[in-house]
Structure 1
Amino acid sequence: MMAVEYGDLPFDEAISLFREKLSLPSESWDEIWQEAHDHAFIIAGAIEEDLLESLREAVDKAIADGMSLKEFQSQFIEIVKRAGWDYVGKPGWRSHVIYETNLRQSYNAGRYQQLQAVKETRPYWMYRHGNSETPRKLHLSWHQKVLPADDPWWQSHYPSNGWGCKCRVFALNERDMQRLGLSVGQAPDDGTYDWLDKKTGEVHEVPVGIDPGFDYAPGAIKPSERLAQIREEKRNGRS
């Protein structure tokens, strides 16, 4: 798994969206699903409040200050030693997954908000493969695919599209597409597959080429906006 590009990460939208999340104790990563990860900070197996908040503070510093993976791993070792946490996996691997996933999805969520802000002048989005060491064939096939920003395909295929996925989306206008020799295409239809949650028995239909739980657009709904929606739904339910 390649490292996150630290210099791309510390920007206001990414920091703000991460800080709006609620901390949620959990036994496993799939206790919440898809866009729920935009609204809750979880670390699989982290149940104790002090442990979860210490890990959250370390991730926050990584996002806001551009902390390197090596620095984060050092903090991770200190935090789990202090908490006596019996986590799954080796410390290097586990800290890498926590760091990589949280930084990349915070970046992607903030990037989504930025792309929305320029949609009037750059109404087209281009998928760009991220040059992973072990590229997914379908992600390569989506490279330089251009669709309208409001195409429904983005709601399930906006990166990241799996563990370690480094793909990104770029906003374009007509002049950009002429310069790059690109044109607006059709949304790919690669089919779906069923993924069974062995704990609950629930079967999820997932687009082919995307890891379970990653078929959503990070940042599409801010945590504060989702909270407002929930409050409105409750008010309507009582009326």
Structure 2
Amino acid sequence: MSIALALLVAGLLAALLYRQKARQRERRHNHAQLQALMHSLEMLQRLQKHRGLGGQDSAAARNQCRQLADELERLWRNLPPAAQELEELQRDWPGPRSRPDDFDAHCRLIERLLTAMQLFELRQGEELDIARQCRELEELARLRGLAVRGARASRCPLPLQVQLRYLSLRLQRGAAPHGALASALERLQRQLIEPLQVGISAQECFELLTPLIDEQLGALRQRLLVADRNHQEPRT
């Protein structure tokens, strides 16, 4: 083999090795950002549920709040390396933890979490549309939190009525006419928002909307798992 040919082969091998290492770095980077997104999704689900349960008076709801708080503590202790921005959010967690009924404090913390999720998705480089859909889903989760608080009164307080009407109208635009979400919104309108006497309990409001939220979160979780698996498969 001539010297020129040997140098050419060596150069091609070096380029191939560099390309393989670059792909490995890219896969590791994407995996790290997807892990941060998945971790954030777990936190989002628990924070939203903590807010919804915090609007109830029952012993069962208080127990579930404590369980969710413990789960959130574990999630903060075990942050993925790419999700260190979430450490800053932990400083705001003691308030909602000690005051599960503080709706606004939960909303502020969740808003910061959603912003972090958008950052993780931008770093990942692929437009998965997870962060945007989580923001849309937060409207339904807010509706749940407000509904359980409105149902505690004999008549839904006017300020809550205004917020519930606004969120219901926004959600109705994206709801299938005969779907589960449309049915749930119609029931809230009929038994919570409109009547002079509330006809639905706080627990029933929570149980009405939680399966709809969990179903959508489950679909987003599955999409992240599929995206992560695809990134880990070596490209040919």
* TM-score, scaled to structure 1: 0.32
More helix by share: 2
Name which one, 1 or 2, has greater alpha-carbon Rg: 2
More strand by share: 1
